[in-house]
Amino acid sequence: MGARIRTAQVTSAAFDNVAHTVTFAGLGTNNGLLVVFTIVAVDSSLVPPGSFSITLSDGYINSGSLLDGSISLHY
């Protein structure tokens, strides 16, 4: 079964001006079970077309480049 992730609380957000990334950490649920998550987004201007990754404490991991759109980080 695929992931069904719902964010409950973002506990931290960190910007990296050199790598043009933002990292979010927090708590949520995946298929109804409590998980800790880490999300990393890479700005499209540095690594076109931009990328996104998510890691959950239950072992779920997914990442890849955007297929459409862009990520623009402003800090």
> Per residue in 2-49, pLDDT tens?
788 888 899 999 999 888 899 999 999 999 999 999 999 998 887 788
Using CB atoms within 10 Å of the CB of residue 23, give its burial: 0 to 12 exposed, 13 to 18 middle, 19+ buried. Answer: middle
Per-residue pLDDT, 72 = 84
Rg over alpha carbons for the chain, rounded to the nearest Å, is 13
The residue assigned the tokens 């996104």 is 52
Query: Model confidence at 1, in pLDDT bands (50, 70, 90)?
Result: low
Measured from the Cβ of residue 74, the count of other Cβ atoms closer than 10 Å reads 6
**Residue 75 above 70 pLDDT?**
no
Per-residue pLDDT, 70 = 84
**Residue 55 above 70 pLDDT?**
yes
Per-residue pLDDT, 11 = 96
